[in-house]
Amino acid sequence: MRSYDHSSVEKKWQKIWEEKEAFKASCDPKKPKYYVLDMFPYPSGSGLHVGHVVNYTATDIIARYKRMQGYNVLHPMGWDSFGLPAEQYAIRTGTHPAVTTKNNVDAFRIQLKNLGFSYDWDREFATSDPSYYKWTQWIFTKLYEKGLAYEANISVNFCPALGTVLANEEVDAGRAKDGGHPVIKKPLRQWVLKITEYADRLIEDLDLVDWPESIKALQTNWIGKSLGAEIHFSLENHTDEIVVFTTRHDTIFGCTYLVLAPEHPLIDSITQDSQKEQVKKYQDRAFHETEIERTEAKIKTGVFTGSYALHPITGKKVPIWVADYVLPNYGTGAVMGVPAQCERDFEFAKSYNIPIIQVVMPPKEASDEEKKLQKAWEGPGIMVNSSYKDLELDGKHNEAAKELICDWLISNKKGQKKVCYKLRDWLFSRQRYWGEPFPILHFEDGTKRALAIDELPLLPPHLEDFKPSPSGESPLSRVKEWVNIIDPKTGKKAQRETNTMPQWAGSCWYYLRFCDPHNSGEAWDKQIEKYWMPVDLYVGGVEHAVLHLLYARFWHKVLYDIGLVSTLEPFYKLRNQGLIVCRSFKTANNVYIAPSDVEERDGKYFDKKTGVELQSQIEKMSKSKLTGASPDDLVTEWGADSLRLYEMFLGPLEREKVWVTDPISGCRRFLSRIFDMVQSNKVTDKDTDEAKRLINRLIHSVSLDMEALQFNTAIAKFMEFLNDFSKLESYPKSALLDLVKLVNPFAPHITEELWEMLGQKDLFAATYPVADPNYLQEKMVIYAIQINGKVRGTIDTAPDLDQETVAKLAREQHNVAKFLEGMTIKKTIFVPNKLVSFVVG
């Protein structure tokens, strides 16, 4: 009998699949399609990690399952290859990022192929390929033509010590991660995309997709739509006015001060001389703080301007303060302070002795503190202290008051309804080398021209030194002969745009290019797009839950509006794989110990070598903590099929999973057992009812698991099945064939081999089994149970059980058990499928 040698089996089938182009997809309108996509990786130097394997195995299982169900499956893979790490590596080593990227991609591809993923490799591309970014640049020109791309002066992170602009990822708590030097904000000319124009649609169309509710909520909150009002406050001794944005206009009678963001343009002109120095000092300090520092500071600080506004309804004087907790770029950068109804304002008012006027009565369920005004009541309630002349709100519910205030503000020209979004326009340029150059020419007269399709791709100039410039300009600006040109189309002197696009750009539309990756005449063919789109299943990390998905959806909607794509949303069903975490171990001196050198006793962990007790923690896998696991090593030792099976068996796809490698041997054993079983002399061509029942039940329940992406439970069922099946007297071949098909999406190599051993060909092209309903419903029989001639209970059982089994079940029936207590059974009468009768004494 052959024993299972994973490495020869896996190599063999990987080669055959490649030769037969087993997973090549082509547009075929006669067949139903299924597009299953992974969030493509950034090809980092550290290669594939076990988290990637969870993601890609899950989609591969579905790809193979759908193919066997007769779908035309599109399952592509590519590389998100522009970005900071490749550039930083280039700066450190002097290797061109294109070289590093190519090496990393080659290594990744080998790793993925070794895992047997059924990608259509013909569709592979990298976002840094000129033949791809030609179209990224072209899409940018479409955004530009639609007025959705504009230039603005925006502050960037600038590190004077390093003499460079830093990306947000390079900054931590106001300091450069590299060296810890302080980082300041510096205004620079930037490209910005008007994503805000799509804010409403980006919220509303979430109704069209099957995504986890938590991800929908993240997107909605990020966009942050607030329905409120703008209220105009006139100023004492000043012609200007201050406009505030509020979502609680019902509380207007409780407004006892106004606050301006330190950046507010009116501050200079309204601040009284006596306060000028203090205000200036305060502003300087605030400008050096990050938004997070400003909003999350425990103690709210501020400074009085010395000036007053007039309450729009009562005309009372309201002091104007400046405070950093008000952000310049939300609403109007000015807020009305209502201490009794807003905790933040309450603390501020307490610190600076500002009056507190209650306007919404805390209801019964409010806490004592809230009722006694030792804390703000932020919830709903009945209005008090809120009537003035003909505007009577007292006694009304605050929601009704909102409407009345709004009407009053509008008819008195003191305000209006207003919708605000947290979402800002998307800062789309970087002062970097390793990104798509912008296809834009600037002319001397200040006008611009977007390059036409025949001028694309626009390649960056060749650079030996990729470092960002000390001025904050992009390194491209150093290549004067590239920057300064005579525009061949107009004959005018022109300068090329020297900023580059951010890494997000390439991942905004790669799923469209996968539909038609070799098209050199257009980004994609519309008919082909119409066939494959939308992506039916998209799987990736939750870290992309906000930005990548939002940006890609935004581009997609723009493309929809200009008639280039046929669906409103790009990704129909989205699932996020949970993070893989790991238990790390260290000594009291913070020396990490590899998990393989640790033994557990009574829930405590000890160093096997020294016997010393260790501290342990569940955290992200990390090489430096000796918890990194390399898929390559695992594939070598156990085989790709065992690794795939194991990673799916760890737990539900979307849940966080703790990496403990022990179960991988169990998965491997399971595969070996099938391998042996197929070769057993008990394999027969003759079907048995018992085998039929077992396999049909397995087909039925595994199919349900597949639809629900519950791969871990499907695997548990395979194992259970094997235990039951191995006990049968014979192994009907038909059941084994079905089993092999069911396991195939999980462990594709060994199952192809078994399929061949069972005399079949090309499992990858086989049809997924469908359960025969006749074998699903076990017919049940009802036994009456008598004790000394009286019926004392009934039991339901499978038909045709033997007397001993039925009698045991009967004795255990709770009512019967009661009657039998303390009795001796003298005789048992058994009528198959009908009656068990005990004679007792």
Is residue 780 classed as helix, strand or coil in its secondary structure?
Answer: coil
Among 111, 157, 246, 498, binds ligand ANZ (CB under 6 A): 246
Check binding of 333 to ligand ANZ (CB under 6 A).
Answer: yes
Tell me which stretch binds ligand ANZ (CB under 6 A): 12-20, 243-251, 476-484, 516-524: 243-251
CB closer to ligand ANZ out of 546 and 568: 546
- Strands (DSSP E) contained in 290-363 are 303-310, 317-322, 334-337, 360-361
CA proximity to 426, closest of 224, 196, 221, 157 = 196
Is residue 488 classed as helix, strand or coil in its secondary structure?
Answer: coil
CA proximity to 120, closest of 75, 73, 57 = 75
Is residue 334 classed as helix, strand or coil in its secondary structure?
Answer: strand
> Are 482 and 458 a contacting pair, CB within 8 Å?
no
CB closer to ligand ANZ out of 405 and 523: 405
Q: How far is the CB of 226 from ligand ANZ (least distance, A)?
A: 3
Among 338, 456, 545, 626, binds ligand ANZ (CB under 6 A): 338
Q: What is the rounded distance in angstroms from the CA atom of residue 191 to the CA atom of residue 212?
A: 33
Helix (H) or strand (E) holding 244: strand 238-246
CB closer to ligand ANZ out of 336 and 747: 336
Q: What is the rounded distance in angstroms from the CA atom of residue 578 to the CA atom of residue 641?
A: 21
Among 190, 219, 251, 813, binds ligand ANZ (CB under 6 A): 251
Check binding of 330 to ligand ANZ (CB under 6 A).
Answer: yes
Check binding of 331 to ligand ANZ (CB under 6 A).
Answer: yes
Check binding of 260 to ligand ANZ (CB under 6 A).
Answer: no
CA-only gyration radius of the chain, Å: 35
What sign for the dihedral angle of Cα 783, 786, 791, 794? negative
CB closer to ligand ANZ out of 67 and 248: 248
- Cα angle, residue 124 at apex, residues 630 and 575 outer, rounded to 5°: 65
Q: What is the rounded distance in angstroms from the CA atom of residue 3 to the CA atom of residue 17?
A: 23
Q: How far is the CB of 336 from ligand ANZ (least distance, A)?
A: 5
Tell me which stretch binds ligand ANZ (CB under 6 A): 179-187, 246-254, 485-493, 785-793: 246-254
Is residue 219 classed as helix, strand or coil in its secondary structure?
Answer: helix
Q: How far is the CB of 392 from ligand ANZ (least distance, A)?
A: 20
- Strands (DSSP E) contained in 136-209 are 149-159, 164-166, 171-172, 175-176, 184-193
Q: How far is the CB of 410 from ligand ANZ (least distance, A)?
A: 18
Among 143, 223, 320, 336, binds ligand ANZ (CB under 6 A): 336
Check binding of 247 to ligand ANZ (CB under 6 A).
Answer: yes
Q: How far is the CB of 242 from ligand ANZ (least distance, A)?
A: 12
Tell me which stretch binds ligand ANZ (CB under 6 A): 180-188, 242-250, 653-661, 701-709: 242-250
Q: What is the rounded distance in angstroms from the CA atom of residue 258 to the CA atom of residue 657?
A: 50
Token code pair at residue 784? 């009456």
Is residue 697 classed as helix, strand or coil in its secondary structure?
Answer: helix
Among 50, 335, 664, 807, binds ligand ANZ (CB under 6 A): 335
CA proximity to 197, closest of 473, 531, 423, 515 = 423
Check binding of 302 to ligand ANZ (CB under 6 A).
Answer: no
CB closer to ligand ANZ out of 58 and 342: 342
Q: Write down the residue that tokens 């150093």 correspond to.
A: 478
Q: How far is the CB of 230 from ligand ANZ (least distance, A)?
A: 10
Q: What is the rounded distance in angstroms from the CA atom of residue 550 to the CA atom of residue 205?
A: 12
Helix (H) or strand (E) holding 673: helix 663-679
Number of H helices, E strands in the chain: 26, 37
CB closer to ligand ANZ out of 97 and 328: 328
CB closer to ligand ANZ out of 333 and 639: 333
Q: Which residues contact 559 (CB under 8 A, 6 or more apart)?
A: 139, 142, 509, 512, 565
Check binding of 219 to ligand ANZ (CB under 6 A).
Answer: no
Burial zone of 372 (CB within 10 Å; 0-12 exposed, 13-18 middle, 19+ buried): exposed
Check binding of 768 to ligand ANZ (CB under 6 A).
Answer: no
CB closer to ligand ANZ out of 408 and 838: 408
Q: What is the rounded distance in angstroms from the CA atom of residue 827 to the CA atom of residue 432?
A: 91
Tell me which stretch binds ligand ANZ (CB under 6 A): 335-343, 349-357, 614-622, 794-802: 335-343
CB closer to ligand ANZ out of 34 and 330: 330
Interactions with ligand ANZ, residue window 545-564 (CB under 6 A):
none
Tell me which stretch binds ligand ANZ (CB under 6 A): 209-217, 334-342, 539-547, 691-699: 334-342
Q: How far is the CB of 317 from ligand ANZ (least distance, A)?
A: 18
Check binding of 342 to ligand ANZ (CB under 6 A).
Answer: yes
Q: How far is the CB of 351 from ligand ANZ (least distance, A)?
A: 17
CB closer to ligand ANZ out of 218 and 581: 218
CB closer to ligand ANZ out of 402 and 496: 402
Tell me which stretch binds ligand ANZ (CB under 6 A): 56-64, 240-248, 391-399, 616-624: 240-248
Check binding of 341 to ligand ANZ (CB under 6 A).
Answer: yes
CB closer to ligand ANZ out of 167 and 423: 423
Q: How far is the CB of 326 from ligand ANZ (least distance, A)?
A: 4
Among 327, 568, 795, 809, binds ligand ANZ (CB under 6 A): 327
Check binding of 245 to ligand ANZ (CB under 6 A).
Answer: yes
DSSP bridge pairs for 152? 190
Check binding of 326 to ligand ANZ (CB under 6 A).
Answer: yes
Q: How many CA atoms lie within 13 A of 718 on its CB side?
A: 32
Q: How far is the CB of 289 from ligand ANZ (least distance, A)?
A: 14
CB closer to ligand ANZ out of 139 and 252: 252
Q: What is the rounded distance in angstroms from the CA atom of residue 679 to the CA atom of residue 475?
A: 65
Token code pair at residue 414? 């003191």
* C-alpha distance across the termini of the chain, in Å: 58
Check binding of 73 to ligand ANZ (CB under 6 A).
Answer: no
Q: What is the rounded distance in angstroms from the CA atom of residue 635 to the CA atom of residue 180?
A: 40
Q: How far is the CB of 656 from ligand ANZ (least distance, A)?
A: 30
Helix (H) or strand (E) holding 450: strand 448-450
Tell me which stretch binds ligand ANZ (CB under 6 A): 15-23, 323-331, 438-446, 749-757: 323-331
> Are 736 and 758 a contacting pair, CB within 8 Å?
yes
CB closer to ligand ANZ out of 336 and 621: 336
What sign for the dihedral angle of Cα 209, 210, 211, 214? positive
CB closer to ligand ANZ out of 327 and 568: 327
Check binding of 346 to ligand ANZ (CB under 6 A).
Answer: no
DSSP letter, residue 769: P
CB closer to ligand ANZ out of 143 and 383: 383
Buried b (16+ CB within 10 A) or exposed e, 600-628: eeeeebbbeeeeeebebeeeebeeebbbe
Tell me which stretch binds ligand ANZ (CB under 6 A): 119-127, 241-249, 349-357, 641-649: 241-249
Q: How far is the CB of 231 from ligand ANZ (least distance, A)?
A: 9
Is residue 805 classed as helix, strand or coil in its secondary structure?
Answer: helix
Check binding of 420 to ligand ANZ (CB under 6 A).
Answer: yes
Is residue 681 classed as helix, strand or coil in its secondary structure?
Answer: coil
Check binding of 231 to ligand ANZ (CB under 6 A).
Answer: no
Q: How far is the CB of 194 from ligand ANZ (least distance, A)?
A: 20
Residues that bind ligand ANZ (CB under 6 A): 226, 245-248, 251, 261, 326-327, 330-331, 333, 335-336, 338, 341-342, 420
